[in-house]
Amino acid sequence: MLTAYDRKKKREDFNIEDALCKSLAWFFPLLARFRVTSVESLIFRKFPYACPYCRQCPHKDKICKTTQGTTRTVDHAAVLAKHAENSHRRPRGLNQWQQMFHDIYERDTVTVNSGRSTLGLLEELGELAEAVRVFEKHPKYFAGEAADVFSYLMGFANEHRVRLELDGQPPFDFEEAFLLRYPGLCMQCGHSICICPSIPESTVGRMAKELDLAPVNELFTLNPSDAELRGKQIGASVLQELGGLPVIAHKLPLDRGEANRAMVLLCLRLSEEVKSQDVGLASDLYNAAIRIATDARMAGSRATGSSSTGVVDVLSSVWPLLSLAVIPEDNSLQSGLAKSLRAQAIRIGIITALPKEFAAMRTMLEEERTSPIASDPNDYVLGTIPARDESGSHIVAVTLLKEMGNNSAAAAASHLLRSFPSIEDVIMVGIAGGIPKPESPDRHIRLGDIVVSNSSGVVQYDNLKVGIDKIHLRSSSSKPSARMIGSSRVLESERLMKRYPWEEFLQRANLLENASRPHESTDLLYKWDTGDPIPVAHPVDPSRNAGLPKIHYGIIGAANVLLKNPTLRDQVARDCGVAAVEMEGSGIADAAWTAGQQYLIVRGICDYCDEKKNDDWQGYAAVAAAAYVRALISAISLNAYKNAGNSTTS
């Protein structure tokens, strides 16, 4: 029971002696709450006037620091013998207890300012909290940790005594200081055996603000099932924040319990699945399963197996060779483990802004699976796209923005890169407004064409210094992915050879609503020099295949502006050199740059950013851009990415 003296905790003269007495005033009732019959007996059983680890007084620091493992840390029989031997020396008052711990763990002028007691007490308080948690099953653990906490409180008292001696001050009498505050009867009710309410007014006063925070059922989990569900959600969120299982594979309990069994079964299952494609990899997985099984440890063992990290490396090679369906859609530990590890094989992320763009991209995937991620607002679909040279399939993560704009795009890309930390390239695919150039037939952009960001990347054209006659760029985004630019150059070489791999994928979206190519008569171009629309004929371009998209490479203009102003369009094109304008590219570029990763923008042209802008070409433009992305990714080998497609033989 704390006294009125102790409740004045905010007074300026509250000192170390006050704190020591108050600590014991909390400590003793805590032990009483756990039905400890005798605090003195509890402490002396662990500290029988000697250190329980080296069994010396004073203790031998070198011996204690070299002990390892539970069997060598405490020789229980020897401690019991020391207890019997020193039973006559058991302290009888607080000052004697303080002296005993001074004799065992001497504090001197060298160690008094080392912070030894502070660090030790912090550690012991953490262990005491764990002992409280498991008290019902392991009450002796609580007894031992309570004794340790008391020993460090005595250490503080002894350090205070040394400081007083150094300063020439009167010695600290712990027993007297404590009894002045707690004189053998309750200062609240006046009885030697307290008859105060179980929660006295002093405690109610301290808790007043906390009691009004929220109802009890909001502060505490009363339903065990709810607690279990919440714990799983938090665990998944923390794991995702760390970067997934492979990032902490060296710490995971894959060498014990259910996790070990799940990993063994997963390796055996994947070994069978991949056998027809890569016998060597199948053998690696089978051998890994055997190693993990034989390297298993008992629950709670401090020794850890060394096989799990190598297995994670082997698994990184198997996912591109397998169907997504190999992992069952259930809540088993094996399934969850497999999904988390498979996520580490994803090197490409694809972002779309509109549902029609999302749908178009999904039609380009060979297979797909939804993949919700804890604490990530993005909605993900995982899909496969065959890689170059039949080396396997790229597993890609595709997501859809919650709303249009650079801010939304940057947020979504950040979540994508955090949830799938192995992603190296982010592709923004969808529709955009094109910059027509009828005076230059080979550079003239028409509806249904595709614009791919070149090495100059993205210009944020609303982050500008606007003059009377010219727009000046204030900044530009980082360069796009060299890997993706290289792949686009490969596709350009294909075009020069009269091969158009993206065209074969256009048919995959035939069943999508409003995705067919509109009639050429709806592709109308106007001049707006006088403010009124004047029709302009499209120039003849011999390199263009009628009824099919043409590929252009150029700078992408991005802003949080839906552009329907041909005058501003032409000025941005003239001063910034852009080939297309949209609303998300700079957000994608900035998020990728911040995460140290790469990006590319691919846009299908659906309008000319003028007052005639409409939705007629949006569906087809989305499909055209998605088809090009499919061809672009298919032109990249798995080996273009680190740790992808390479079997790790153990």
Tell me the pLDDT tens digit for each residue of 91-131: 988 899 999 999 998 887 777 777 777 888 888 888 999 99
Residue 564 and residue 497 share a domain: yes
Residue 384 and residue 280 share a domain: no
Q: Over 70: is that where the pLDDT of 8 sits?
A: no
Whether 205 and 10 have beta carbons less than 8 Å apart is answered as no
Residue 612 and residue 498 share a domain: yes
Residue 210 lies in a domain: no
Residue 486 and residue 432 share a domain: yes
DSSP 644: S
pTM: 0.66
pLDDT score recorded for residue 446: 96
Q: Over 70: is that where the pLDDT of 200 sits?
A: no
What digits encode the pLDDT tens for the residues 16-58?
888 898 888 888 888 888 888 888 988 999 999 999 888 889 8
Block residue for tokens 């994947």? 270
pLDDT score recorded for residue 6: 47
Can you tell me the mean pLDDT for 241-249? 55
pLDDT score recorded for residue 3: 45
CA distance 200 to 13: 25
Judged by phi (left if over 0) then psi (alpha if -120 to 50, else beta), residue 385 lies in beta
Count: domains in the chain: 3
Quote the domain boundaries for residue 35.
4-182
Residue 577 and residue 445 share a domain: yes
Where is the domain boundary, 313, 343, 373? 343
Lowest mean pLDDT among 208-222, 230-244, 482-496, 586-600: 208-222
C-alpha angle 590-595-600 in degrees, rounded to nearest 5: 55
Residue 417 and residue 396 share a domain: yes
CA distance 448 to 84: 93
Residue 479 and residue 365 share a domain: yes
Whether 242 and 248 have beta carbons less than 8 Å apart is answered as yes
Whether 352 and 401 have beta carbons less than 8 Å apart is answered as yes
Can you tell me the mean pLDDT for 471-475? 66
Residue 50 and residue 31 share a domain: yes
Residue 444 and residue 570 share a domain: yes
CA distance 94 to 91: 8
CATH for 457: 3.40.50.1580
Residue 435 and residue 377 share a domain: yes
What digits encode the pLDDT tens for the residues 51-68?
988 888 988 877 776 555
Q: Where are the alpha helices (DSSP H) in 167-243?
A: 174-181, 201-211, 216-219, 224-242
pLDDT score recorded for residue 117: 75
Collapsing DSSP to helix, strand or coil, 398 comes out as strand
Residue 622 and residue 476 share a domain: yes
What digits encode the pLDDT tens for the residues 348-401?
999 999 999 999 999 999 999 998 887 789 999 999 999 998 778 999 999 999
Residue 204 lies in a domain: no
Residue 542 lies in a domain: yes
CA distance 601 to 316: 28
Residue 585 and residue 439 share a domain: yes
What digits encode the pLDDT tens for the residues 602-627?
999 999 999 888 999 999 999 999 99
